[in-house]
Structure 1
Amino acid sequence: MNRILVEFAHPAIQKSRINRRLIQAVKELENVTLNDLYEKYPDFFIDVKKEQQLLLEHDIIVWHHPFYWYSAPALLKEWMDLVLVHGWAYGEHGRMLEGKTVLSVISTGGRLEVYSKEGRNRFSIQEFLVPFKQSANLCRMEYLPPFVVHGAHTISDNEISEYAENYKKALTMLRSDAVDRDRLMKAAYFNDLIE
């Protein structure tokens, strides 16, 4: 059974409609470790060695955050800058994360149609997530299609509950290796594989 580490970064979780529910759905799953970065490091003083050890102890890394200004909240970026260092995570001798898997889990205010060449944001979610994909590639990790919740400001409570259940299903599938990797890698979103 795969061990999953959820690197969760939300600077205002008490105001969240979506991410609070997503986390509640998965935090008690067996072999899933929730690492709430804003709760753990409110002062941004990250314990690099402790964070690296957590990464070593898990097979699948989830970068879970709201999509802020087409990127991640500041603490997750700080975490990446400090923890995924040359000589450890990447570089000629940096192979500590090689072979691990990464999944981005994000929520967006915009609906799906605004994330396209024709839409208001002019680029797809996949295009906006290229820095995360390349970070995973640099560290010799496999980057999966993202799990995305669109329209955070307008979706209903019932839709949020469905997304939360699907997130739980996604992590359960990954944990037990019950994912058709060929089919997944052809999908735009991980969500597309969940029935």
Structure 2
Amino acid sequence: MEELVKGGTPAQVLVLAAHPDWRDSRVNRQLMDAARSTQGVKVHDLYSLYPDYDIDVAAEQGAAAAASLIVLLHPVQWYSMPALLKLWMDEVLTYGWAYGTRGTALRGKDIWLVATTGGPESSYHPQSYNRYFFDAFLPPYEQTAALCGMRFLPPMVLHGAHSASDEAVTDHVKTFSERLASWPQWPELDELEQCPACEVPVSDRPASEATS
């Protein structure tokens, strides 16, 4: 398991980096490098750790439980997250551990989406080819956080990653690094409400846990 924590200090931040071709990535690779150089941060490069998609659930649950902030770092693919990160969610965020009866392992933690898109910001508009503002694609992330009792932080998104200038990319990476290093001393967090309680009735999840 990749545990990249500067100075040997316990990680407060877990970065789940999910880019299928990160070596050829223009932006996400730099963001991963910035995270690796930040004290108190553990980076899990999912596509390097699990090329066969065989996720070590116990190890990932241990890493997530030990962190106070979980960062989802990925390019937006088909208006969502890459397949391996979705599998991570499916297999790691289990009932009785992440949510539901006795599922409190992540309660009170923060989760932060740091994403890149290929299309420019102007393409996420009712009059453009993506048809919706980018915020319209966030509810699955927000509700996942809510169901697990986590606080969903304002996302950090770089639109038009393919065409952004080198200066814009450099500034974005620098801001990400600064934000990562300064969390949780973000001024806006004082005014950010905790997520609503989403209690799952026991009757909705039979003890047999039969596959639907």
TM-score computed with the length of structure 1 as normaliser: 0.89
**1:47-126 counterparts in 2 under 5 A?**
47-126=56-135
Matched residue SS, 1:180: helix
Residue matched to 1:40: 49
Q: Percent identity?
A: 42
Q: Which runs of 5+ in 2 are unaligned?
A: 1-9, 194-212
Residue matched to 2:156: 147
* Whole-angstrom CA distance in 2 between matches of 1:45 and 1:103: 25
Paired letter, 1:55: A
* Cα RMSD for the two superposed structures: 1.7
* Whole-angstrom CA distance in 1 between matches of 2:153 and 2:132: 19
Cα distance, 1:41 vs structure 2: 0.4
The answer to which structure has the higher helix fraction is 1
Residue matched to 2:19: 10
Cα distance, 1:111 vs structure 2: 1.0
* Whole-angstrom CA distance in 2 between matches of 1:54 and 1:23: 17
Deviation track 1:80-113 (CA, whole Å, cap 9, x = no partner) reads 0000011100012211100000000100011111
Larger Rg: 2
TM-score computed with the length of structure 2 as normaliser: 0.82
* Whole-angstrom CA distance in 2 between matches of 1:80 and 1:166: 27
Q: Is the 8 A contact 1:2 1:60 kept in 2?
A: no
Cα distance, 1:65 vs structure 2: 0.4
Q: Is the 8 A contact 1:27 1:33 kept in 2?
A: yes
Residue matched to 1:177: 185
Deviation track 1:109-162 (CA, whole Å, cap 9, x = no partner) reads 111111123332122222102101110100010001111011111111111111
Q: CA, structure 1 residues 123+183, in 2 after alignment: closer, same or farther (shift >3 Å)?
A: farther
* Whole-angstrom CA distance in 2 between matches of 1:163 and 1:55: 26
* Whole-angstrom CA distance in 2 between matches of 1:109 and 1:93: 40
Paired letter, 1:45: D
Matched residue SS, 1:23: helix
* Whole-angstrom CA distance in 1 between matches of 2:11 and 2:46: 22
Cα distance, 1:182 vs structure 2: 4.8
